Amino acid sequence: MATIAMKVRPEDLSQLPAGKERIPEPVILVIFGASGDLTKRKLLPALFHLRQNNLLPKEFAIVGVARRPLGDEFARDMREGIVDFGDVDKSDPKLDEFVGHISYFALNFDDPSHYASLKTELDRIDKERGIGGNRLFYLATAPEFFAGIVENLGAQQMAHPEKGMAAIVIEKPFGHDLGSARELNHQVNAVFEERQVFRIDHYLGKETVQNLLVFRFANGIFEPVWNRNFIEEVQITVAETLGVEGRGPFYEKAGALRDVVQNHMMELLSLVALEPPSSFEAESVRREKLKVWQAIPPIPILNTIRGQYGPGIVGKDHVVGYRDEERVNPNSGTETFAALRLEIENWRWAGVPFFLRAGKRMKKRATEISIQFKQPPLLIFNRLATDGPCGEIQPNLLTIRIQPDEGIALRFGAKVPTSSQMSVCPVNMDFDYETAFGKSTANGYERLLLDAMLGDQTLFAHRDGVETNWALYTPILDAWKSKTPEVFPNYFAGSWGPECADHLLERSGHTWRNDLGRH
Ligand code: BG6
């Protein structure tokens, strides 16, 4: 397919005046579960990128908290993480200065007396650095520790300090079903008010995800056609080539529906479907998202598909099936693929099917949203086109590539030059982030950490949204649990998932788009 690339010239960008950046107040960031992968791979590189861009306050401290006695080794390990995962030159002069802000505190999550010592240590650092009392607690531990940590912070008055502000960031999973999510929200809100709670969904930190709002609401031409009168169907795919990467025990309990669909994909769906918020502020955006989720009727089990990968070839590599992954039950019934059809029953979307699918060990890594428009009412060129090189005229398709090759493409029909017939072929108008704005090293956490420090909840999940989504998915999880899948594994690693997922769409005359990625 031919492609027309749209470029912003780099010289245009360099002439833009620097925007007025928001810089947070001095703060101590306390990361619980800091010895885990997330801190090293994502959080610290993101914090360093913020430092490089002068977006951190002058006075700040990062305190890693975990059970192991690590001491100075922790800061050294984080330095390595920043270099390896943050695309940072190891001789960057800002690196040593930044690492000087990192310290470690060993703590047993269940021991209340340790929290008293933690408080003393934070007060000491605060005084030394002139922080002024602000604390941001980040829960990056296994979820079973969330409630205990929150309770202990509350017991030591760390949730409502006399001086400064306190807030808490929670990594998913926010519960594993509706009941547990409610319980967790209750435990958290017993100590922290909702305005102090930042539930992270790292998808909302991705540039392209945020750009969805800009695309829809900063441009006048798309909104008039963004509805059931013009849109035929919406597909959202989160396809990963990776398997479970040593996280067998976690994934066994999670599965694709809990791990990716119920949270990341529902966030994407809400941004595609929401009504224009009255402002780009937390309350307004979160209210519109909630309205979308609330308008989704229960999803019939018949409209859900689950899959599990067997052995296969991904890229050039032979890989084992899910049941042969490390620390996975050899008879596991956990799904590594989930697909479903849902509807949004409101004036804008009634009758438009939304197809969602997520899978591990798929043919290609691609997270994409594709919006297929209706055909024109009369296809005057169709007969001629059918005889031409590209066959039948294809409907307009807008694809939003979340990753990789972040960008947006619009497919339309164009006349094939020099042809004596009116032959029509599909071509793409393609906006590519990297071509337009240069390569970004950001991992999504930069924006979210910065917003949490600034107290801006716009890009964070609210308890009502989390519970509404669990209410939608818990019956599916229950139904799946009550019936062991007989045909697992049912797709080869390196394929586009089980055949039954194709049938789900074929039933209503649709097909999955498998030509994902940039063309
Ligand atoms: C995480 C899931 O939340 O998202 C992982 O636990 C998944 O299983 C990951 O691989 C996908 O995130 P990304 O940013 O790589 O698309």
**Interatomic CA distance for residues 362 and 112, integer angstroms:** 45
Amino acid occupying residue 442 = A
Cα(223) to ligand 1 centroid in Å equals 30
- pLDDT at position 448 over 80: yes
Residue 486: its pLDDT value, please?
Answer: 84
Cα(18) to ligand 1 centroid in Å equals 33
Kindly report the number of other CB atoms within 10 A of residue 126's CB atom.
22
Kindly report the number of other CB atoms within 10 A of residue 101's CB atom.
19
Task: CATH 3.30.360.10 in the chain: give the residue spans.
Answer: 211-379+463-506
**Average pLDDT of the chain?**
92
Residue 308: its pLDDT value, please?
Answer: 98
> Which pair of tokens denotes residue 382?
């169709």
Share of the chain above pLDDT 90, in %: 82
Closest by CA to 324, choosing from 490, 489, 494, is 489
Question: Quick one: pLDDT band at residue 212, thresholds 50, 70, 90?
Answer: very high
Cα(242) to ligand 1 centroid in Å equals 10
End-to-end alpha carbon distance in the chain: 7
Name every protein residue with a CB atom under 6 angstroms from any ligand 1 atom: 202, 240, 259-260, 367
Chain centre distance of CA 466? 14
Write the DSSP string, 440-508. Answer: ----SHHHHHHHHHHT--TTSB-HHHHHHHHHHHHHHHHHHHHS--SS-S-EEETBSS-HHHHHHHHTT
Residue 13: its pLDDT value, please?
Answer: 46
| CATH hierarchy code of domain 211-379+463-506 | 3.30.360.10
Cα(124) to ligand 1 centroid in Å equals 37
**Interatomic CA distance for residues 471 and 298, integer angstroms:** 9
Chain centre distance of CA 479? 26
Mean pLDDT of 160-179: 94
Q: Cβ-count burial of 344 within 10 angstroms (0-12 exposed, 13-18 middle, 19+ buried)?
A: buried
- Give the strand pairing for 27-32 and 135-139: parallel
Residue tagged 């994407």 (tokens): 268
Q: For residue 264, indicate whether it is catalytic.
A: yes
Q: For ligand 1, pick from 264, 364, 402 the residue to mutate: most ligand atoms within 8 Å of CB.
A: 264
User: Topology of 20-200 in CATH?
Assistant: Rossmann fold (3.40.50)
Residue 4: its pLDDT value, please?
Answer: 52
Ligand 1: nearest atom to the Cα of 403: 16
Question: Quick one: pLDDT band at residue 391, thresholds 50, 70, 90?
Answer: confident
Kindly report the number of other CB atoms within 10 A of residue 107's CB atom.
20
Span of 157-166, 407-416, 419-428 with lowest mean pLDDT: 419-428
**Interatomic CA distance for residues 65 and 33, integer angstroms:** 6
Number of alpha carbons in the 13 Å side-chain half-sphere of residue 113:
0
**Interatomic CA distance for residues 79 and 156, integer angstroms:** 31
Task: CATH 3.40.50.720 in the chain: give the residue spans.
Answer: 20-200
Mean pLDDT of 131-143: 95
- pLDDT at position 17 over 60: no
Closest by CA to 341, choosing from 375, 295, 296, 373, is 296
- pLDDT at position 441 over 90: no
Cα(260) to ligand 1 centroid in Å equals 7
Chain centre distance of CA 393? 34
Question: Quick one: pLDDT band at residue 14, thresholds 50, 70, 90?
Answer: very low
Ligand 1: nearest atom to the Cα of 238: 16
Residue 519: its pLDDT value, please?
Answer: 78
Identify the three-state secondary structure at position 313: strand
Query: Which residue, by CA, sits nearest to atom 11 of ligand 1?
Result: 260
Catalytic residue among 176, 264, 503, 519: 264
Residue 3: its pLDDT value, please?
Answer: 57
**Interatomic CA distance for residues 174 and 200, integer angstroms:** 9
- pLDDT at position 8 over 80: no
> Which pair of tokens denotes residue 141?
């531990």
Kindly report the number of other CB atoms within 10 A of residue 487's CB atom.
10
Ligand 1: nearest atom to the Cα of 251: 8
Question: Quick one: pLDDT band at residue 1, thresholds 50, 70, 90?
Answer: low
Query: Which residue, by CA, sits nearest to atom 13 of ligand 1?
Result: 203
Query: Which residue, by CA, sits nearest to atom 2 of ligand 1?
Result: 259
Amino acid occupying residue 239 = A
- pLDDT at position 219 over 50: yes
> 147 near 172, Cβ under 8 Å?
no
Residue 419: its pLDDT value, please?
Answer: 66
Query: Which residue, by CA, sits nearest to atom 10 of ligand 1?
Result: 240
